[in-house]
Structures are given as C-alpha cells and as structure tokens.
C-alpha cells in the first residue's frame, strides 16, 4: 500500500495513523500480533511497513531470537512521531465531524465540537462551503473608502449579474473576469488556461475610451447603476476580442438573430478587461430577498436539512402541471430532493417578467409534497447558448450544492437563426452535458416529455405510453399557450394550475387590452407624419387606450432639441423615442412614432426595448427617394442637393431599408386614409384591436 500522498484517502490515512500508534504502543509485538491489532493481513502489514520505512517514518533494526517472525524491530523516527501527531489530529477531527454531522441530522444544529476547518474539509463535496471572492466585513468597509479614489467602471445590467456570481462562488473556479489566455481557451475548447472546464466567456467589456485611460496592473472600482462600489478589480489583461470568432465558437454562428451574438456585436464594448476581483458587497436586490441564496447559503440549507442528493431544475418560464410532474419524477428517479432554481437575472427578450414568474412558482411550490422541494432564485444573465449553456448551468448548480441537474430538449435554445432554422439540434445540450458530466461532478437527469393522457387523467412520459393508439394524448405548446393568453381564450385545468393562469392573465391581459407601439420609418417627406396623424385620430375614435404621437419633428423640438443629424445624434434621438414609447407601451397605452430612423440596428434595439412590454409594429412608409424629392414639401431636398443641408437622408446620408417590417405601405397613388386603414387592418389581424 502506498503511503498517504496528496491524494490518499481518509481510509489510507487512518490505517497509517493506527500503524504508527500501534508501533509506538507495542514496539516489541510480533508482526502477527500487529497485523491482528490493525485488522489486516500479514502481507498488507509488510507492504505498509516497507513504505513507512521508505518514507522515513519508522526505523527497522534486526534482532536475534528463535522466532523468525520477530527478526525485525520497528521504532518510530522523529518524523514518524510528528506524522503520528498530525494524523491523530486528523483522525480526531474526522471523528468529531462525523459526530457533528450525525448531531446535525438528528437535532438540526451543529454540536460545535469540531473546528470549522476540519468540518468543511471532511464534509460531502457538494455540502462543504466553496470559496467566495468577498473580503471580511471590516476589510470591505476600509476597501470601500480606498476604492472611492479609483477610476471606476459603471457596470451594465449583465455585468452586475456576472459579478454577483463571480463574487459569491456561483462561477467557481473563476477568480475574476477572464484573462486573455483564459478567454482564448474558453472560446476555443471550453477550458481555462489551467485546463479546468469552463464553457462561457465571462468578460468585462468596456468602451475604447475607458480602456485607453487604464494601465496594466491598475486597480479599478466596479460600481452598480446607482454608483455603489461592489468590487475592485486589478486589470491584468486588456485586449480587443475577435467577436466574430467568439460568436462562431461559443454560440455556433455569427448571426445577429442569436440574442447573445446580437448583444456581442451591438451592445458589448469593444475592449475586454481581465483580472482578479475583490468582492466588497453583493448587488442589492429589493425583490424576493428571502428567496435569493448564495451557493454557500444553499449548501448550508442542504446540510441543515440533511439533503445529500439534490436535483436542480433550471427554468426561465412559468411552471405548469407538466413541469411539476416531470420535476417530481426526476427527483424520485435520482432519489434526491428538488431545487427549483429559476433564472431571474436576464433571460430571453420577450420572456414573462420575473416578478410574475416568481409569483407563479410560489403557487406551484405548494403542489409538491412538503419538505421534498425548495425554490431559490438565481441572478444569472443567460446567453441562450444551448449545449455550452447547459454545461455552464450544470457547473453553476454544482457550485450551488446540487448533485443532479435536469437537462431538457433544446435546453437554453435561442430560437431560429436568420434562415429560419434552429441554431442547435434538440439534444445537442444533453450530448455535451453527458460527455462532461463526470468531470463536472454533477449528474444529468434527462427531461421527460410529459403529456396528458385524457382517459387516465394524468401526466405520463410520452415515451413510456404503450397504448398510444388507444388513448387521447393532449399537450399545449408554449406558442399555443401564448396565443390563448393573448386572445383571452380558455386554458384548461389539466394544463396549468388556476393560480398560475390567474397570475399570468393579471400581467398579460389579452392583446386587445395591452399597450403597443406603431413605429413608422421612411425618408423625409415620405408621408410618415400624415399617416401617423390619421392613424392616431382613428384609434382615438375607437377609444379604450390613450394614444400618443411621437412625430419626428415634434420630438426634435421637445426631446432632442440639442441634437443634429450625425449617426451618433440620430441614434440618440431614436433611442429616446424608443424609451418613451416603451414606457407608454408598458403602461398600456398606444405609442405612434414617426421618425426617419435610418439605421436598422437602432430600430432593432428599440424593438427589443418595446417587445418586453407589448407589440412593436414596424411600418415602412416605402415612398421612393425620387418621389420624396419630387414632392419636396419642405424644400429641404433642394437645399440638400445644393449642399446647404449636410448629411441629408437619401441624398448624402444612408437609409437601411427595413428587411422584415410588419407592414410596408406605398403612398404613390394611394390616399392617406387608405394607408392608415391598412395599418388598422394589420393591428386587427395581430389581435391588438378587437370589438368590445
Ligand atoms: S432621424 O434620422 O430619425 O433622427 O431624423 P428625424 O428625427 O425623424 O428628423 C427628421 C426631420 O428633420 C428634418 N431634417 C433632416 N432630415 C434628414 N436629414 C437631415 N440632414 C435633416 N435635416 C433636417 C426633416 O424635416 C425631417 O422631417 P420629416 O418629418 O422626416 O420630413
């Protein structure tokens, strides 16, 4: 037997401890007696004695005597005596810890006998505390004062989510934002520079201007959006990433239809900073505080309840009966307790907001047998990266003390690409997870496709139904559910819980009662304002919702009077319009916007802002530039041709023609009333206006 090395097991160490103790107590005992005392064979004892001698722990001397088996005498060396003391300590600590764990299981409280460091060292892997990046409370107070003088970076909402999980150990083993070498490894082969598995780049992306003023080695303060210092970071790396490569390798395609690729190209800064983070305080959350847990808080909770096996369920959607059934089955299958672990950081644009979802989850939680299941909220910013995201989610759940993780069909799927095809195969995520599960140290539980069997009035896994031809199988897809909610149609009891449906209807009234934005775009003089005015009057005639017109000229007078027509100023102008329209939409009103809005990326950003709250209807007023110039109602085209107005859209400045507008209207040979009517018909077909 080899001597305890760095990787020796507690059993190896125990045996060595008992051997040293035995030799110390009874140096003259025969080998047979010693082996008997230790409960091992003579052969094993000999091997053990040999390696202990090689390690310098015991000294062997020959002695004469009749019994051949007593030919050698064994005595502890000084090193052996020291090892014995160390091992005694360890042995006792282990026994204390075992006692303590038993005590905790029986009474719900620790005995206080075992020193903390031994307890954690000997605890089950998923239950022992994991490292965090926070400094102590006292150091944090001091650091906060010192950090006030540092150059500071105002974190984006996504960076705040990332930082929270870095600091609390959710992203263990990361110690900060990725360095360039780590980033390259992660992008290329899902590994950090030291070889550890990590599938997702976690970068501090910043603007060129901010990056330029930094020096390598400098400490910076990281602040939340109210200016509170959450952490400091030592900048060890600064580089300009190849975003196209990142998109291809991490998300599978350099296609802006993928939300994370869109984020990468259109929101993330141009420069990445890397370096270790020192945590000062957690980001503040005012909502559902009691439901938010750090990895160590969850581990402590599992320890307290004696939950040794825990299966986590990741979700960004409301839970219905099928989810309840499948998660409960997964827990039974894994013989584990269940953690509902929904993401409340950033999910896919257009998802149900997390406030509503959490109220829904709380209602579903009551449906599980008591004390089998708990729920905790995870402030993660999802990337919708399918297979890589599944592995990432698994590592995060392992850090949160879970032993099993449910991976479904199309896990964290981003939807369709710009060709209308899926980005990933439906089971790619399961395959990649399975490939790495052992190394990750968390087991996968496959998601079962649960369907309602009407005759038996129960949910069953589709692939386990043997009499498929003789029973009625019912299912409602996510799209169908959204349609029913949007149109105010019935949602059957077999599909969801009444409390959940009520909650969803409360926040998502039928479309005909929701706010929305009609966004006209087109050249100057194309007829946007005229049609927008006509539409406004028609909608006001119908009544029911307040209508606001944000016409290009009016906005420029009241909101954007200081802006010109450079790309930067035009973008700012449109983002302001988008912001106001999103507020109107959120509060149930109708916003009609009519700027030129020449840039597709800006229009898309506005769409994303608004679609969180209601429908966005892009209407391209497709009057040709020749016709606009011929009409030249304001005489601006003449001035633009003479060079008296610079950067004039269509003449000396670009216009990106909308590729997929909800509606495109021709104004040549069609009167204004008819154009406005076309928009009304479109709104009606989308269910946005309906007879009372
Ligand atoms: S943008 O690009 O969306 O920010 O423009 P917008 O706010 O809609 O403002 C367009 C109106 O400003 C007048 N104008 C110009 N338009 C285009 N290019 C240049 N350089 C320019 N200078 C002044 C013009 O009257 C536009 O009004 P509309 O209502 O579109 O005709």
**Hunting for tokens 């916007």 — which residue is that?**
593
The angle subtended at Cα 412 by Cα 406 and Cα 415, nearest 5°, is 145
Instruction: Tell me if the bond preceding 496 is cis, omega within 30° of 0.
Output: no
pLDDT computed for residue 66 by the predictor: 66
Active site residue 120: no
pLDDT computed for residue 121 by the predictor: 45
pLDDT computed for residue 504 by the predictor: 92
Backbone angles phi and psi of 345, in degrees to 5: -80, -95
CB neighbour list of residue 146: distance below 8 Å, 6 or more residues apart: none
Q: Which of 236, 254, 317, 507 is catalytic?
A: 317
CA of 595, closest atom in ligand 1: 8
> In angstroms, rounded to a whole number, what is the distance separating the alpha carbons of residues 188 and 283?
31
Q: Which pair of tokens denotes residue 600? A: 């597709």
> In angstroms, rounded to a whole number, what is the distance separating the alpha carbons of residues 99 and 104?
9
Tell me the C-alpha to C-alpha distance, in Å, between residue 515 and each of 318, 475, 505: 22, 30, 15
pLDDT computed for residue 111 by the predictor: 62
Residue spans of the chain under pLDDT 50: 1-6, 116-122
Residues framing ligand 1 (Cβ under 6 A): 524-525, 529, 552-553, 556, 565, 570, 573-574, 595-598, 634, 636, 645, 647-649, 653
Residue nearest (by alpha carbon) to ligand 1 atom 12: 553
How close is the Cα of 564 to the center of ligand 1, in Å? Answer: 9
| Pairing status of strand 337-342 against strand 310-315 | parallel
Tell me the C-alpha to C-alpha distance, in Å, between residue 106 and each of 92, 303, 305: 21, 12, 10
pLDDT computed for residue 1 by the predictor: 41
CA of 647, closest atom in ligand 1: 20
> In angstroms, rounded to a whole number, what is the distance separating the alpha carbons of residues 95 and 299?
21
> In angstroms, rounded to a whole number, what is the distance separating the alpha carbons of residues 197 and 398?
13
Active site residue 315: yes
Backbone angles phi and psi of 282, in degrees to 5: -70, 150
Active site residue 317: yes
Residue nearest (by alpha carbon) to ligand 1 atom 24: 524
Residue nearest (by alpha carbon) to ligand 1 atom 19: 648
How close is the Cα of 222 to the center of ligand 1, in Å? Answer: 39
pLDDT computed for residue 6 by the predictor: 45
pTM of the model: 0.66
């Amino acid at each position: 037997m080899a001597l305890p090395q760095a990787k020796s097991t507690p059993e190896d160490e125990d045996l060595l401890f008992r051997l040293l103790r035995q030799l110390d107590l009874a140096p003259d005992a025969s080998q047979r007696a010693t082996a008997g005392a230790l409960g091992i064979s003579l052969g094993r004892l000999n091997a053990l004695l040999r390696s202990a001698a090689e390690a310098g722990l015991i000294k062997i001397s020959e002695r004469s005597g009749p019994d051949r088996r007593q030919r050698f005498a064994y005595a502890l060396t000084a090193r052996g005596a020291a090892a014995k003391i160390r091992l005694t300590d360890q042995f006792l600590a282990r026994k204390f810890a075992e006692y303590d764990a038993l005590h905790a299981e029986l009474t719900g409280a620790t005995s206080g006998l075992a020193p903390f460091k031994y307890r954690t060292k000997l605890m089950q892997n998923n239950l022992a505390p994991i490292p965090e990046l926070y400094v102590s409370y006292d150091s944090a107070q001091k650091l906060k004062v010192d950090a006030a003088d540092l150059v500071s970076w105002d974190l984006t909402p996504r960076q705040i989510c990332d930082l929270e999980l870095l600091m609390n150990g959710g992203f263990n083993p990361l110690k900060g934002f990725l360095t360039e070498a780590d980033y390259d490894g992660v992008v290329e082969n899902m590994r950090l520079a030291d070889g550890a598995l990590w599938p997702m780049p976690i970068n501090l992306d910043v603007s060129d201007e901010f990056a330029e003023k930094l020096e390598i080695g400098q400490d910076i303060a990281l602040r939340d959006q109210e200016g509170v210092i959450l952490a400091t970071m030592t900048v060890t790396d600064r580089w300009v990433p190849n975003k196209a490569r990142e998109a291809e390798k991490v998300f599978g395609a350099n296609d802006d239809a993928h939300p994370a690729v869109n984020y990468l190209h259109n929101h993330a800064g141009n420069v990445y900073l890397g370096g270790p983070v020192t945590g000062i305080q957690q980001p503040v959350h005012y909502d559902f505080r009691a439901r938010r847990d750090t990895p160590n808080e969850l581990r402590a909770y599992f320890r307290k309840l004696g939950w040794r096996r825990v299966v986590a369920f990741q979700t960004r959607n409301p839970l219905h009966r099928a989810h309840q059934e499948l998660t409960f089955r997964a827990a039974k299958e894994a013989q584990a307790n269940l953690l509902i672990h929904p993401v409340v950081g950033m999910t896919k644009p257009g998802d149900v907001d997390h406030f509503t979802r959490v109220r829904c989850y709380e209602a579903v939680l009551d449906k599980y047998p008591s004390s089998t299941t708990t729920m905790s909220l995870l402030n993660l910013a999802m990337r919708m990266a399918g297979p890589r995201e599944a592995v990432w989610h698994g590592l995060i759940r392992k850090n949160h003390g879970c032993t099993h993780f449910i991976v479904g069909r199309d896990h964290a799927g981003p939807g369709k690409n710009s060709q209308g095809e899926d980005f990933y195969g439906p089971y790619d995520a399961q395959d990649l997870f399975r490939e790495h599960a052992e190394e990750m140290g968390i087991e996968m539980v496959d998601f079962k496709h649960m369907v309602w069997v009407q005759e038996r009035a129960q949910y069953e896994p589709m692939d386990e139904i043997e009499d498929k031809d003789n029973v009625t199988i019912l299912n409602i897809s996510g799209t169908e559910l959204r349609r029913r909610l949007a149109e105010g149609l019935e949602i059957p009891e077999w599909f969801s819980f009444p409390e959940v449906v009520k909650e969803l209807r409360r926040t998502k009234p039928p479309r005909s009662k929701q706010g929305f934005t009609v966004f006209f775009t087109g050249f100057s003089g194309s007829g946007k304002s005229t049609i927008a005015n006509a539409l406004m009057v028609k909608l006001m005639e119908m009544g029911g919702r307040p209508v606001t017109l944000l016409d290009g000229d009016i906005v420029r007078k009241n909101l954007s009077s200081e802006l010109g027509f450079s790309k930067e100023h035009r973008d700012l102008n449109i983002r302001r319009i988008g912001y106001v329209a999103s507020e109107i939409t959120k509060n149930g009103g109708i916003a009609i916007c009519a700027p030129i809005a020449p840039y597709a990326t800006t229009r898309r950003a506005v769409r994303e802002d608004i679609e969180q709250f209601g429908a966005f209807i892009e209407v391209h007023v497709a009057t040709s530039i020749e016709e606009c110039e011929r009409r030249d109602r304001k005489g601006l085209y003449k001035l633009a041709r003479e060079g008296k107005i610079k950067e004039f859209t269509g003449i000396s400045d670009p216009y990106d023609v909308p590729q997929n507008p909800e509606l495109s209207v021709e104004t040549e040979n069609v009167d204004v009333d008819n154009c406005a009517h076309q928009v009304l018909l479109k709104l009606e077909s989308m269910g946005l206006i309906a007879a009372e």
